[in-house]
Amino acid sequence: MVKLIQAREQKMHQITSAEQLKFKELITKFLPLSIRQILDNLSLESIQSLEEIRLRKGKPLFLRFHERESMVNSVGQSVSCLSQAYHVTEDDIERTLHLISQSSLYALEEEIRNGYITIPGGHRIGFVGQAVLDGLKVKTIKYISSLNIRLARQVVGCATKIIPFLYNNTEQRPYNILIVSPPKCGKTTLLRDVIRLFSSGFYCSTKREKIKFNVGLVDERSEIAGCYLGIPQNDIGPRTDVLDGCPKAEGMIMLVRSMAPQIVATDEIGRPEDVGAIEEMLNCGISLITTAHGATLADLENRPILKQLINSNIFDRYVFLGRTLGPGTVETILDGKTKQNILLQPIQTLKRGF
């Protein structure tokens, strides 16, 4: 009995250290020693639910978890009083920039202009400071004052439960899907796994073999595939071609012409030029999977561009996400024509971890 308990404890310890090691390897090595010390003291549970690390010059260090935000002191204990919290120094910000860029800011001019850098693992570091303009365009950002390290959590398998709703069995093609959710409900995570499933294949009740498609992905903000030096850091399936960092409208057309995809996926549509690109693409018989910010269909209809898309009945399925059963809950799936819910009850899709 004692042996059993010991073995179990040992196993737990191994899991703990593996997860913590991974965290160290992927995240804390990009932070200066002072902040590294703080994060090294975090418990496994905290690491698993950590979503954002916010550094603001001269302000307390904030850690954002699933359900709460917390300030920490210099040894990693959470505190409630502003004055006890660890305050981020100018040196911390500068060092972080050096570390994430490998001291090569000159190589990241484009990223700095866009305001974020993707690091291995697909995690993103956004930053703001003072914009330097060249005419009307942002030339670069100087005096960087705030950094936000957003941890990308890939949850492989999170879309498995809903994939039957997204595949048109009679026409044997995926529906045109719009995933709708308020921020931080797992929109991108779900999109990523839907792409992975369509690309790597899944079993359907009526067919013996796997159903699989060639997917073209326009990853304008490097969030879905999380490319680092051109290599996707997230699992997006073996039949996915990624056009990284390309504007959506242009990228969709480019993909159709060059890669002959059966599905085109992209994140956060809503610009006027997207409509033209989508129409052209759908006329080629390609399925579209995309996302938009919002909570209800009415929200979407308040936005002229999306209203146009909804009224022309482009989408066959609307997947609405929420937080009733935690982040990543699929609340409803609406049919595109009838606008009726086809889901019996909300489905929880995300169980988090690195």
Partner 1 sequence: MLRFFGGILVVVVCTLWGLLIANNYKQRPLELRNLRSMLNLLETEIIYASTPLPIALDKIAKHADNNISKLFYKARDYLISGNGITADEAWQKALNDILNNSYLLEEDTGILKNFGIGLGCSGKNEQLKNIQLTKELLKKQELKAEQDKSQNERLWKTMGFLSGIAIVLLIF
- Residues contributing to the site for partner 1 (CB under 8 A): 29, 31-33, 36, 94-95, 97-99, 101-107, 109, 112, 140
- The minimum distance between CB 103 and partner 1, in angstroms, equals 3
> With respect to partner 1, which residue has the nearer C-beta, 97 or 269?
97
Q: What are phi and psi of 35, to 5 degrees?
A: -80, -30
Q: Which two tokens stand for residue 177?
A: 């899907």
> What is the C-alpha separation between 155 and 153, in angstroms, rounded?
6
For the CB of residue 276, give the shortest distance to partner 1 in the complex, in Å: 33
- 5 CB neighbour count, 10 Å cutoff: 9
Mark out the alpha helices in 284-319 (DSSP H runs).
Answer: 297-301, 304-311
Closer by beta carbon to partner 1, 38 or else 265? 38
134/209 with CB nearer partner 1: 134
Shortest distance (Å) from residue 38 CB to partner 1:
13
Between 36 and 56, whose beta carbon lies closer to partner 1? 36
Q: Minimum distance between the CB of residue 122 and partner 1, rounded to whole angstroms?
A: 18
Closest CA to 192 of 261, 296, 123, 266: 266
Q: With contact defined as beta carbons under 8 Å apart, do 263 and 163 qualify?
A: no
- Whole-number minimum distance, CB 91 to partner 1, in Å? 10
Closer residue to partner 1 in complex, CB, 99/204:
99
| 111 phi/psi in degrees, rounded to 5 | -65, -40
Residue closer to partner 1, measured from CB, 104 or 311:
104
Least separation, in Å, of the C-beta of 227 and partner 1? 16
Integer CA distances (angstroms), 42 to 13, 32, 54, in order: 15, 16, 15
- Quote the Cα angle for 271-277-281, to 5°: 140
